[in-house]
Structure 1
Amino acid sequence: MKFCIVGGGSLGLLLTAKYTLANIPVVLITRTKEQAKIIRRYGLQLTEEKREHAANFACYSMVEIKENDVDLNLDWIFLMVKQHHINLSLGQDISTLMKAHTKLLCFQNGIGHEEKLSSWIPSNKIYLAITTEAAKKNSAHKVEHTGKGNIWIGQESQKSESFDKSEKKLIKSLSDAGFKAQMTNNMSSIIWNKLLINSVINPLTAILKVSNGKLLTSENWMQLMKNLLEEGKLVAKAAGIETEVHLWDQLIEVCQKTSNNTSSMLQDILEGRETEIDRINGGLIRLASDYKIDVPNHQVVFNMVKGLTN
């Protein structure tokens, strides 16, 4: 099978490096020509468990793909850009890369991207992925694997417990590359569990400018974490989503296991980039409004993060 990763961010670089080192055919498509040129010149450097690995593979920018009419004949496309980068242009570009047998696997935080992508991609070809893998992009061609986790994959509407040959091969490829991955028919619940955890950790670390573990050092901060989580659970319940019973314990565990990590939202704030606040807390706020549920804590952190990026 042939795989393509769209997005040269931290997780995109991590998966590309791990696939290459496992001798699995993979192509990386970056947003800019500059990053593609750097990777072609120097290769990709992966730091993992204090060891450095060099990976070389086919790499193009999306512009170069179109300019040179590159035909990749892909089985799976991993879409690993942030949700706010999914627009008409990217959607059309992805659709041109897809053959009759190609499937799209989406690694976005938040909610709403599947509906957006279905404007250009048939819904039955769209798969969703949730991961707790952690990585840090140190430069255009350097990435550090900062935490091992799991990858869950499925289609939001899938209820069957049987999976086809291409799905099984996908899971095998991820396993061969060193990841713990599984197909699931409970994707909606998994997406919401991560959404609720992200909606607590990401904005608070961005506002307070602290690592994930530091949130557990203040009783006041932890009370705010509980308030955010409970508001989010009310919205999930109204939407008919069954969340984990021990979600608070999972939230604490995530903070502990990623104690020294800088959340993606804090990284965006520090680098002056657009954050995913509109797709995470903003998505919850919009749904809460539909269900006439008050979420004042989410509204406050949403406004504060938006203020930091103005």
Structure 2
Amino acid sequence: MEIAVIGSGAMGSLYGGTLAEAGHDVTLVDVWEEHVRTIEESGLRLTDDDGERAIPVRATTDPGTVSPPDLALVFVKSTQTDVALDGARPLLDERVDVLSLQNGLGNAEDIAGYVPERNVVAGVTTHGATLEGPGRVFHAGSGPTRIGRYFVDDDDRVDAIAGAFTAAGLPTTVSDAIRDDIWEKVLVNVGINAPTALARVENGALARTQEGRRVVEAAVHEAVAVARHEGCTIRDDIVDHVVDVAERTGTNASSMLQDVRAGRETEVERIHGAVVRRAARHDLAVPVNRTLADLVRLAQGA
């Protein structure tokens, strides 16, 4: 399968490198010149349970040099989806399936501005990765991935993508309720990301303390009401699930906490901000999420 990875940071490099190692024709596309140059010169160095190895894979900063692939895999930060796809227009045509495994809400809708809706595939993954430096990725955690067509019914091409990922060591299933799956991951992000970023604590603090659990419960319950108004089916034990995720990833610093610490733009607009905007469409009050979003905006602008 010919695959272009748009946004080849930690997760994009993990997926792209793993798929290249399995024999697929992969090109990593990223704006970080040193990262791309290092991969081109000495391969992508991936560290996981099997140790460290260098994986030969093409990389470029210029999407215009990439022919339209079978699959474009989008891993840029969700706030950059539109900009990244606008720059990647040369490799997108009506035959290319485009898969988003990004955080947050609205990515599939953005992608549909560049390819037909029938080509949009969305998904969620529980894999974790850390970019340790130019051309160096650490596979921090493994887990299942679920994908599905966002606007139309699934088909053999989606089955083929899932099969290719699974054969490469990235276990993937096709979901017939991918919008519910995306919302469930958003609810996990709602409960963990802004609270940890603002309190400057690791995920486990939310599970260990009464204060943490109260914030999780308040934020998640608000967002569940929005999801259900949008027609999604949400598990009844979702708060317990979020707390369990926080406990299982207890020593992790959430991506939003990492961004705030580094002075980078966060994905708050696609998580808590998106919940606030969608709540307004349904005349729902979400004061906790509104406050969390405003405080993160202040923190990232400081």
TM-score bracket for the superposition, by shorter chain length: over 0.9
Q: Within 1, Cα distance between the matches of 2:215 and 2:61? A: 42
Contact kept? 1:206, 1:269, Cα under 8 Å:
yes
Written as runs of structure 1 = structure 2, the 5 A alignment for 1:201-216 is 201-216=192-207
1:195 to 186, 194, 205: 186
Contact kept? 2:206, 2:243, Cα under 8 Å:
no
Task: Say yes or no: does 1:170 pair with 2:161.
Answer: yes
C-alpha displacement of 1:100: 4.1
Query: Paired residue for 2:237?
Result: 246
Q: Name segments (4+ residues, structure 1) moved above 4 Å.
A: none
Query: Paired residue for 2:219?
Result: 228
Instruction: Name the aligned partner's letter for residue 116 of structure 2.
Output: P
Q: Within 2, Cα distance between the matches of 1:76 and 1:136? A: 24
Instruction: Name the aligned partner's letter for residue 304 of structure 1.
Output: L
C-alpha displacement of 1:2: 1.0
Contact kept? 1:95, 1:121, Cα under 8 Å:
no
Written as runs of structure 1 = structure 2, the 5 A alignment for 1:57-72 is 57-62=57-62, 65-66=63-64, 70-72=65-67
C-alpha displacement of 1:50: 6.6
Contact kept? 2:98, 2:111, Cα under 8 Å:
no
C-alpha displacement of 1:201: 0.4
Q: Deviation string for 1:95-141 (max 9, x for gaps)?
A: 32024432110122111122222222211111111111111111121
C-alpha displacement of 1:253: 2.2
TM-score by length of 2: 0.94
Q: Deviation string for 1:47-104 (max 9, x for gaps)?
A: 1127112111111113xx43xxx243411010110111123x5333333202443211
The percent identity for this pair of structures is: 26
Q: Within 1, Cα distance between the matches of 2:50 and 2:215? A: 36
For structure 2, the residue ranges without an aligned partner over 5 or more in a row are none
Query: Paired residue for 1:127?
Result: 121
Written as runs of structure 1 = structure 2, the 5 A alignment for 1:1-310 is 1-49=1-49, 51-62=51-62, 65-66=63-64, 70-87=65-82, 89-158=83-152, 160=153, 163-164=155-156, 166-310=157-301
Distance 1:71 1:146, change over 3 A: closer
Distance 1:245 1:35, change over 3 A: same
Deviates more, 1:114-123 or 1:184-193: 114-123
Q: How many residues align?
A: 301
C-alpha displacement of 1:222: 0.7
Q: Within 2, Cα distance between the matches of 1:263 and 1:301? A: 15
Contact kept? 1:147, 1:258, Cα under 8 Å:
no
Instruction: Name the aligned partner's letter for residue 111 of structure 1.
Output: L
Instruction: Name the aligned partner's letter for residue 84 of structure 2.
Output: L
Contact kept? 1:74, 1:99, Cα under 8 Å:
no
C-alpha displacement of 1:163: 2.6
C-alpha displacement of 1:23: 2.3
Q: Within 2, Cα distance between the matches of 1:255 and 1:72? A: 41
Q: Within 2, Cα distance between the matches of 1:204 and 1:112? A: 22
For structure 1, the residue ranges without an aligned partner over 5 or more in a row are none
